[in-house]
Amino acid sequence: STALVWLRRDLRLHDHAAFYHALKQHQRVIAVFIFDRPILEPLPRDDRRVAFIHASLAALQAELQRHGSDLVVRHDDARSAIPQLAAEFAAAAVYANRDYEPAAIARDDAVATALAAQGIAFHSSKDQVIFEQDEVLTQSGGMYSVFTPYKRAWLAKLNDFYVRPYPVSRYLDRLATLPAQTLPALAELGFADIDPAAQRIPAGIDGAEQLLADFLPRIERYQELRDFPARKGPSYLSVHLRFGTVSIRELAALAWRQGGAGAETWLSELIWREFYLQILWHRPEVAGHAFKPEYDALPFPNDPALFAAWCEGRTGYPLVDAAMRQLNQTGYMHNRLRMVTASFLVKDLLIDWRWGERYFAEKLIDFDLAANNGGWQWAASTGCDAQPYFRIFNPVSQSEKFDADGRFIKRYCPELAMLSGKDIHAPWLAKPLSLQAAGIVLGRDYPAPVVDHAVQRDKALALFKKN
Ligand code: FAD
């Protein structure tokens, strides 16, 4: 019999749960991908993620062709396209890997219902995570809302079984022979023709392998280097985890077996990813609302001019501005800087975290609803296991601590390149002569600070305290 494997955020052929189950059960397996109109339509036309997906699909298609098959691609609404394709290919079943976002769950339910009406089965598998929402629970069977005990339970449950790769390669001769398929060009999909490689974002499984090979020799120093944005500390694999061009089982196994402080800390980050995914699954209302209901309706002044300054990287706080420019120019932002800019938006500019969350969602190439929402609610002190509201990052001391010589700042704020030492972290405190020597007039070459941290800090404390 024939089966479809519907690819979504699992753009690889190896160690792939849905391919494995489909290939084991059926003689003829067809890989399909839908450029889903309802997802694509609201996106900006120069969206880097669409370009990343496109490049990754091109690589996957070439791989399927090497195995005598091909990739069936449609630009359509998945809710109707999947049942149509299943009928067209006379498929007995459709296989997919589970997606845990509320919109994806609703879409998959609709597709499963439509398929059932045609007498076609829909099988979904765990693939994106080591443990799903109901696999790591408290002793009383509830979800964990504090990370450390969650992590402890997660690690206690881990064994070889959970990280064993799916041996897809054994069954590849069951991939269907198909007439040549075409992958529509980005322009045909209505998007700008961006080449991720030219933007230094290696796509596809080769891109993931390249990043992993680069990271593994550094993994021992991960803990030591990961907080310094000018250093090559983290793995930069987030976009690959997002679109499944790498297998979580492979990464978790590597980190777990390696051991040592660096690998253990990195494994913790992979566990944070699953922690936030299970929060979103158990408490889907966090998409839109504070995890702590008492902080859901804080009276933020929400000044649009301050928000625009933040988005555009012209707040006058160099580390914040450099970080926002990194996001705008590359689609990536270093984790330390995500924490700093998020805290700054909420507690210095007094803007609702949901505004920042939305901006990140639009710009981040690795945007993931659960991790982004979790990160924002952590920084805004509205989340589970969040930063307490009275712990407010000082953007100048964060800068002095994590970008001491200003190397990261200078990369994205070249107008400050001539400032030395302490001045680069707070140009408004520099001596007039130093500014003059660096050729900088504040307000002309670089903004004066849009707010005073000490003043805003007190306002933020008062705002939270009233609740
Ligand atoms: P590494 O340090 O190499 O970490 C390895 C992997 O672990 C990451 O690729 C990611 O999958 C996972 N991970 C690391 N930290 C976290 C975390 N705190 N929460 C969940 N997973 C984590 N991560 C996203 O993947 N998508 C987002 O949309 C996102 N938004 C964020 C927003 C805010 C405000 C904050 C504070 C953090 C956010 N993060 C998000 C988490 C983290 O910043 C990124 O995962 C990380 O910077 C990606 O870079 P990397 O792959 O080099 O990470």
- Same structural domain, 104 and 43: yes
The residues, ordered by sequence, that sit 6+ positions from 118 with a Cβ below 8 Å of its Cβ are: 83, 86, 87
Between helix 102-117 and helix 78-88 the angle, nearest 10°, is: 30
- For residue 383, give the CATH number of its domain: 1.10.579.10
CA distance 8 to 29: 16
Domain membership flag for residue 82 = yes
Domain membership flag for residue 199 = no
- Same structural domain, 300 and 421: yes
- For residue 159, give the CATH number of its domain: 1.25.40.80
pLDDT of residue 101: 96
With a 6 A CB cut-off, is 281 part of the ligand 1 pocket?
no
- Same structural domain, 316 and 237: no
- Among residues 301, 273, 320, the alpha carbon closest in space to that of 456 is found at 301
- Same structural domain, 276 and 362: no
- Same structural domain, 151 and 9: no
What does the pLDDT look like over 12-50, one tens digit per residue? 999 999 999 999 999 999 999 999 999 999 999 999 999
Report the share of the chain in percent with pLDDT over 70: 100
CA distance 43 to 10: 21
**Mean of all residue pLDDT scores within the chain:** 97
Domain membership flag for residue 35 = yes
pLDDT of residue 348: 98
CA distance 275 to 144: 8
CA 462 to each of CA 299, 431, 456: distance values in angstroms, whole numbers, following the listed order: 11, 33, 10
With a 6 A CB cut-off, is 241 part of the ligand 1 pocket?
yes
Do the Cβ atoms of 201 and 207 come closer than 8 Å? yes
Do the Cβ atoms of 418 and 439 come closer than 8 Å? yes
Closest ligand 1 atom to residue 376 Cα is 34
- Same structural domain, 439 and 309: yes
Between helix 318-330 and helix 395-402 the angle, nearest 10°, is: 70
Q: Looking at 282, 302, 333, which one is the last position of a domain?
A: 282
Chain centroid offset of residue 282 CA: 19
- Same structural domain, 214 and 68: no
pLDDT of residue 286: 96
- Same structural domain, 262 and 377: no
With a 6 A CB cut-off, is 234 part of the ligand 1 pocket?
yes
Asked whether this complex has an ipTM greater than 0.85, the answer is yes
Domain membership flag for residue 253 = yes
Domain membership flag for residue 198 = no
Domain membership flag for residue 185 = no
Q: Looking at 258, 282, 306, which one is the last position of a domain?
A: 282
Is residue 175 marked as binding?
Answer: no
- Same structural domain, 269 and 352: no
Read off the tokens for 143: 């979800």
What does the pLDDT look like over 416-437, one tens digit per residue? 999 987 999 999 999 999 999 9
Read off the tokens for 162: 């959970």
400 pLDDT tier (thresholds 50, 70, 90): very high
61 pLDDT tier (thresholds 50, 70, 90): very high
Backbone angles phi, psi at 56, to 5 degrees: -70, -35
- Same structural domain, 392 and 458: yes
- Give me the mean pLDDT over the 394-399 stretch: 98
CA distance 400 to 412: 16
What is the distance in A from the centroid of ligand 1 to the CA of 335?
A: 6
What is the distance in A from the centroid of ligand 1 to the CA of 237?
A: 9
156 pLDDT tier (thresholds 50, 70, 90): very high
Q: Which is it for strands 28-36 and 2-7: parallel, antiparallel or unpaired?
A: parallel
Give yes or no for residue 454 having a pLDDT over 80: yes
The residues, ordered by sequence, that sit 6+ positions from 279 with a Cβ below 8 Å of its Cβ are: 143, 145, 286, 291, 370, 374, 384
- Same structural domain, 69 and 117: yes
Strand partners of residue 74:
34
Do the Cβ atoms of 96 and 6 come closer than 8 Å? yes
Amino acid at 187: A
Q: Give a three-class secondary structure readout of the chain.
A: CEEEEEECCCCCCCCCHHHHHHHHHCCEEEEEEEEEHHHHCCCCCCCHHHHHHHHHHHHHHHHHHHCCCCEEEEEECHHHHHHHHHHHCCCCEEEEECCCCHHHHHHHHHHHHHHHHCCCEEEEECCCCCCCCCCCCCCCCCCCCCHHHHHHHHHHHCCHHHHCCCCHHHHHHHECCCCCCCCCCCCCCCCCCCCHHHHCCCCHHHHHHHHHHHHHHHHHHHHHHCCCCCCCCCCCCHHHHHHCCCCHHHHHHHHHHHCHHHHHHHHHHHHHHHHHHHHHHHCHHHCCCCCCHHHCCCCCCCCHHHHHHHHHCCCCCHHHHHHHHHHHHHCCCCHHHHHHHHHHHHHHCCCCHHHHHHHHHHHCCCCCHHHHHHHHHHHCCCCCCCCCCCCCCCHHHHHHHHCCCCHHHHHHCHHHCCCCHHHHHCHHHCCHHHHHHCCCCECCCECCCCCCHHHHHHHHHHHHHCC
Domain membership flag for residue 137 = yes
- Among residues 442, 449, 393, the alpha carbon closest in space to that of 416 is found at 442
Give yes or no for residue 363 having a pLDDT over 80: yes
Longest dimension (CA), the chain: 79
What is the distance in A from the centroid of ligand 1 to the CA of 272?
A: 8
- Same structural domain, 157 and 80: no
What does the pLDDT look like over 295-329, one tens digit per residue? 999 999 999 999 999 999 999 999 999 999 999 99
Closest ligand 1 atom to residue 361 Cα is 28
With a 6 A CB cut-off, is 339 part of the ligand 1 pocket?
yes
Give yes or no for residue 197 having a pLDDT over 90: no
Q: Looking at 235, 254, 282, which one is the last position of a domain?
A: 282
- For residue 44, give the CATH number of its domain: 3.40.50.620
User: 255 lies in which domain range?
Assistant: 129-164+206-282
With a 6 A CB cut-off, is 229 part of the ligand 1 pocket?
no
Cβ neighbourhood burial of 161 (10 Å; 0-12, 13-18, 19+): exposed
Number of domains making up the chain: 3
pLDDT of residue 421: 79
Give yes or no for residue 447 having a pLDDT over 80: yes
Domain membership flag for residue 288 = no
Which residue is closest in CA terms to ligand 1's atom 46? 335
With a 6 A CB cut-off, is 456 part of the ligand 1 pocket?
no
